[in-house]
Amino acid sequence: MKDIHASDIDIQKFAFDQQECQPEVIKHILSCEECNERVQSYLALSSFIKDQAEPTLDYNLSHLVLGQLPSTKEAETSYPYLINFIMLAIVSCLALVLFLFRGTIGYLLSSTQAYQNYFIISIIAFISTALVLDQFRAFYQKVNLLTP
C-alpha cells in the first residue's frame, strides 16, 4: 500500500469525512507525505471557496422577471363571471316564476300526479345543468392555469 497512493475519492473522504475512510487508507495518508499534501490542498481549496462572498445582484431580479410574464388574469376571470351571471339569471327567473305563480303551482302540484312528476324532473334537469356548468367552469379554470 505504501507504493500505491490513495485515489482522489479516498483523499476527499479523508479530508472531509474521515469516518467513511477505510483504516488502511487513513494509515497510508498519515504516513505518506505526497498524499498528505493532496489532503492539505483539498482543505485549502475548500476553505478558500467557503471564504468567498455570496454573489449578489445589484438589481432586483424579481421585478424584471414578473414584468416579462404574460398576464392571463383577464381571460381567467371573465369566463367564470359569465357562467356565474348565467346561473344567477336562471335562478332568478325560476324564483320569480315560482313566486308569481305560487298559487297556481301549488294547486297543480296538489291536484295531479303528472304535474308532480314534471316538477321533480324539471328540478333534476336544473340541478344537472348547474353541475355541468360548474364542471365546465372548473375545467376552463384548469386549462387557463396550464396555458402560458
Minimum distance from residue 19 beta carbon to Zn ion (Å): 20
Q: Does 15 bind Zn ion (CB under 5 A)?
A: no
Q: Which pairs from 134-139 meet CB under 8 Å and 24+ separation? A: 134/83, 136/83, 137/79, 137/80, 137/83
Minimum distance from residue 25 beta carbon to Zn ion (Å): 10
Residue from 5, 12, 109, 140 touching Zn ion (CB under 5 A): that is 5
Going by C-beta distance under 8 Å and a sequence separation of 6 or more, which residues neighbour residue 86? 133
In angstroms, the CA 66 to CA 57 distance is 16
Total binding residues toward Zn ion, as defined by CB under 5 A: 4
Q: Which three cell numbers stand for residue 6?
A: 490513495
Would you say 48 and 105 are in contact if contact means Cβ atoms under 8 Å apart?
no
Measured from the CB atom, the residue of 27 and 102 that comes closer to Zn ion is 27
Q: Which of residues 26-65 bind Zn ion (CB under 5 A)?
A: 32, 34-35
Measured from the CB atom, the residue of 5 and 137 that comes closer to Zn ion is 5
Q: Applying CB under 5 A, which residues contact Zn ion?
A: 5, 32, 34-35
